[in-house]
């Protein structure tokens, strides 16, 4: 009973943090923000929904492919249904990866005994592939937008440079996972991996073992990394660009908006609030404002982007309520 109370209290606290962040962001600007949202062109919002939907379907196809690589036969329809349910639970469990935890529970319950571990680890590998795709895109755009970033105010420039540098370091770290057998031959790196394993309670070793199960499919994984960069994270950035265009703002460069979206999603992945609500808004509004967009419009875009995400989260709830079948998979 105490655990349930503790869990509920933690969930309420995180929602409260998200609400507080959004309140502080919009305080004193609510009227102008609402006017901007009400005056936005609905056709651009519809196009943003289409871009976000495309991004989500590619994510489903990626996970479905990873399951098939492990010999787990599941229909695309079932993959879609489980992914939608995961979207719903990302509203409850903090961080952008929160829905993955719920999705792992769902597929574990529906998998055959010998497939449970592979099925659950496929979600972790799917998340890693998606993050590497994000790192590839953000790192590339960060370098491409270096001139524009350099022209920003000192504080904004410093934050963006640090974020991009962190993304590039993350990309290098991810390469260690994929080619860990080669890097383990280098003594300093082997020592670092051992240290990470010690303090990570064995998770790095289990993760690398899971990746070893995909060694014969590395070419496909690389293709999915590129697809994630181009058709998942880029499309989410295009969706945000559509929201900006819908407000009548025409001064933002598409590549900078996609970079801002990617970095904001990376910030939103930090498990502080449900589905990254609030933290993602802070990042979006700060980066757009730094690039010369009016504060009220930048906040309006952040709020609409959050609204778009919540629409998909709540749509996942419909699939969760309607889903009553728990068939076994081989």
Q: pLDDT tens, 245-260?
A: 998 888 788 999 999 9
For residues 261 and 275, give the distance between their C-alpha atoms in angstroms, rounded to a whole number: 15
Q: How confident is the model at residue 178 (pLDDT cuts 50, 70, 90)?
A: confident
Question: CB neighbours of 232 closer than 8 A, spacing ≥ 6?
Answer: 55, 58, 59, 62, 130, 133
DSSP string of 211-226, one letter each residue: HHTTGGGHHHHHHHHH
Q: How far is CA 142 from CA 70, 110, 153, 260, 265, in A?
A: 35, 41, 16, 9, 15
The alpha carbon of 64 is separated from its chain's Cα centroid by a whole number of angstroms, namely 18
pLDDT value at residue 326: 45
Going by C-alpha positions, the residue among 246, 86, 272 that lies closest to residue 281 is: 272
pLDDT value at residue 329: 44
DSSP string of 176-240, one letter each residue: HHHTHHHHTTSHHHHHHHHHHHHHTTTHHHHHHHHHHTTGGGHHHHHHHHHHIIIIIIHHHHHHH
Going by C-alpha positions, the residue among 91, 125, 127, 87 that lies closest to residue 106 is: 87
The pTM for the full model equals: 0.80
| Tens digit of each residue's pLDDT (9 = 90 or more) over 143-170 | 888 777 777 766 667 767 777 777 777 7
* Token pair belonging to 269: 């992945």
Least-confidence region, from 27-36, 133-142, 194-203? 27-36
| Tens digit of each residue's pLDDT (9 = 90 or more) over 259-306 | 999 988 888 877 777 767 788 888 898 889 888 888 888 888 988 898
| 47 compared with 318, residue with greater pLDDT | 47
């Amino acid at each position: 009973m105490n655990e349930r109370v503790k869990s509920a209290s933690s969930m309420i606290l995180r929602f409260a943090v998200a609400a507080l962040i959004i309140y502080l962001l919009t305080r004193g600007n609510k009227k102008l923000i609402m006017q901007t949202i009400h005056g936005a062109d609905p056709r651009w919002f519809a196009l943003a929904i289409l871009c976000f939907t495309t991004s989500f379907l590619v994510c489903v196809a990626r996970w479905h492919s990873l399951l098939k690589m492990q010999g787990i036969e599941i229909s695309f329809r079932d993959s879609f249904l489980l992914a939608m349910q995961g979207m719903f639970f990302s509203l409850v469990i903090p961080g952008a990866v929160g829905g993955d935890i719920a999705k792992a529970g769902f597929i574990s319950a529906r998998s055959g005994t010998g497939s449970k571990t592979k099925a659950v680890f496929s979600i972790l590998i799917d998340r890693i592939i998606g993050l590497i795709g994000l790192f590839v895109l953000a790192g590339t755009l960060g370098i491409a937008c270096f001139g524009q970033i350099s022209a920003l105010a000192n504080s904004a420039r410093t934050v963006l440079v640090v974020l991009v540098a962190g993304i590039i370091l993350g990309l290098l770290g991810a390469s260690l996972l994929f080619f860990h057998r080669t890097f383990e031959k280098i003594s300093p790196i082997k020592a670092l991996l051992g240290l990470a394993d010690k303090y990570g309670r064995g998770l790095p070793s289990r993760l690398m073992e899971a990746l070893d199960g995909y060694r014969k499919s590395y070419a496909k994984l690389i293709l999915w990394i590129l697809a994630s960069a181009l058709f998942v994270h880029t499309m989410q950035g295009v969706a945000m660009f559509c929201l900006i265009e819908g407000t009548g703002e025409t001064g933002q460069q598409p590549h900078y908006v996609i970079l801002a979206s990617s970095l904001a999603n990376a910030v939103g992945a930090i498990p502080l609030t449900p589905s990254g609500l609030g933290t993602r808004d802070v990042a979006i509004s700060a980066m757009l404002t730094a690039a010369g967009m009016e504060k009220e419009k930048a906040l309006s875009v952040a709020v609409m982007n959050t609204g778009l995400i919540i629409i998909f989260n709540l749509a996942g709830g419909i699939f969760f309520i309607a889903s009553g079948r728990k068939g076994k998979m081989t």
